Amino acid sequence: MRLVDLRSDTITKPTPAMRRAMAEAEVGDDVFGEDPTVNRLEEMAAERLGKEAAMFVASGTMGNLVSLLAQCNRGDEVILGDMCHTFLYEQGGIAALGGIHPRPIPNQPDGTLELQQIEMAIRPDNVHFPRTRLIALENTHNRCYGAPLTVEYMHAVGELARRHGLKVHVDGARIFNAAIALNVDVRDLVADADSVTFCLSKGLAAPVGSIVCGTREFIAEARRARKVVGGGMRQAGVLAAAGIVALTEMVDRLAEDHANARRLAEGLANIKGISIDPGQVKTNIVYFEVTHETMTPQELVERLNAEGVRMLAIGPRRIRAVTNYHVSAEDIEYALSVFSKVLG
């Protein structure tokens, strides 16, 4: 049976070139700073994002956590979106492990935070309040239809932050999807960020790992934070080698994932029992509502799964599909035919 796995881009497996690079990787003890492959990946990543320095971490969650640990003191407040990954899906780690107070404000459907609402959330100097330290943005925005946040918006938040003496962190788990979708240099997207996390193991198909970027001073602090959360890896070059292939060979092809996501959305718009606005799909993430009279998203997902099409039911009405390296245009046609069969 054909298998079309659209649950996430995290399901991607390493490419043959990655496996070769991993097998042949030169390694050393990275806690001593002696793994040449990790060092090369970090240099490449920093250069690619236009930052002074970078650090390899185990996951996107770890990247966000150590970035905030490095930039905030206990009791400091971070302004973030109520739909962002750090607030919803990271176990409240910034609070649990860092004593950092989250101040969620509403994410707009396009993934942005309204500038005025950010400004209103900044605390005045008063003995009753925590100190606002940082604004966190997510680009692309996972829960907001994979929306890419524009260069202009990122600059506007950067300008606002500087005016108030605040730092900016960008959860750029899928920042290259944003750059490709907007047809801009990724450097311009993160120029205003004091720290950025991006993932090698989502659309870029590396088996493990994310990168944190920023100034040399920030990375030195983030390295301390990574060590205390147990993220000091030793011969990590075997993993970093795949990351190097991810950065050099896998970025430009993300455009295919975006085209497939659009194809899927347009096809779904013609299927009874589904509600979707295909215009909302700008990258590789597709959300749609199940409006069928009797079938719940959970039941629909189970029926699709029985035919080899995998997606995730999110909440009482929605399903998420994420296109990725292992999903072709023909797979999308197949998935749509299964939808017609199951709902028709």
In the complex, which residues of this chain contact ligand TLP (CB under 6 A)? 8, 10, 59-61, 85, 89, 138, 142, 171, 173, 199, 210
Separation between Cα atoms, residue 157 and residue 169, nearest integer Å: 11
Cβ at position 32, least distance to ligand TLP in Å:
25
Q: Which residues, at least 6 apart from 148, have a Cβ–Cβ distance to it below 8 Å? A: 111, 139, 140, 177, 178, 179, 181, 182, 282, 283
8 vs 37 by CB, closer to ligand TLP = 8
| CB nearer to ligand TLP: pick between 15 and 142 | 142
Beta carbon nearer to ligand TLP, 46 or 212:
212
Shortest distance in whole angstroms from residue 337 CB to ligand TLP: 25
Q: Which is nearer to ligand TLP, 42 or 138 (CB)?
A: 138
Give 112 or 342: the residue with its C-beta nearer to ligand TLP: 112
Q: How far is the CB of 11 from ligand TLP (least distance, A)?
A: 8
Question: Among positive and negative, which fits the CA dihedral 230, 251, 314, 99?
Answer: positive
Which of 140, 141, 201, 192 has the alpha carbon at shortest distance from 167?
Answer: 192
Shortest approach of ligand TLP to residue 10 CB, angstroms?
5
Which CB, 10 or 275, lies closer to ligand TLP?
10
**Closest of 13, 33, 22 to residue 226, by C-alpha:** 33
Q: Shortest Cβ contact with ligand TLP: which residue?
A: 60
Report strand pairing: 318-322 vs 312-314.
antiparallel
